[in-house]
Structure 1
Amino acid sequence: MAITSIERRRALIAGAVALLALPAWARTDPPGRPKPMVQIWKSPSCGCCKDWIVHLEANGFATQVSDVGNAAARKRLGIQDKHGSCHTALVGGYAIEGHVPGKDIQRLLRERPAGIGLAVPFMPVGSPGMDGPEYGDRKDPYDVLLLAKDGSARVFQSYR
Structure 2
Amino acid sequence: MDRRLFLIASGAAALSAGSAAAAAGPKLTVYKTASCGCCRGWVTAMARAGFAPTVVEVEDLSVEWRKRGVPDQLSSCHLADIGGYVTVGHVPPQDVRRLLKERPKALGLTVPGMPLGSPGMEHPSGKTEPYETLLLLPGGRTRVFARHA
Corresponding residue of 1:54: 44
Alignment of 1:97-112 (within 5 A): 97-112=88-103
Corresponding residue of 1:70: 61
- CA offset digits 1:81-130 (Å, max 9, x no partner): 11111001100000100000011101100110110000000100110000
Corresponding residue of 1:36: 26
Q: TM-score scaled by structure 1?
A: 0.77
Give the distance between the partners of 1:67 and 1:33, measured in 2 at CA: 26
Moved more, 62-71 or 146-155: 62-71
Corresponding residue of 1:138: 127
Once the two structures are TM-superposed, the CA of residue 36 in structure 1 deviates from its matched residue by: 0.9
Q: Which runs of 4+ in 1 moved over 6 A?
A: none
Identity of paired residues, percent? 42
- CA offset digits 1:49-74 (Å, max 9, x no partner): 00000000001110111111421110
Corresponding residue of 2:147: 158
Question: Are 2:124 and 1:129 equivalent residues in the alignment?
Answer: no
Q: 2:79 aligns with which of 62, 68, 88?
A: 88
Q: TM-score scaled by structure 2?
A: 0.82
Q: Can you give the 5+ residue segments of structure 1 that lack an aligned partner in the other structure?
A: 1-30
- Partner secondary structure for residue 157 of structure 1: strand
- Partner secondary structure for residue 138 of structure 2: coil
Give the distance between the partners of 1:94 and 1:155, measured in 2 at CA: 16
- Partner secondary structure for residue 39 of structure 2: helix
Give the distance between the partners of 2:22 and 2:31, measured in 1 at CA: 27
Q: Give the letter for the 2:25 counterpart.
A: K
Alignment check: 8 A CA contact 2:86 2:109 kept: yes
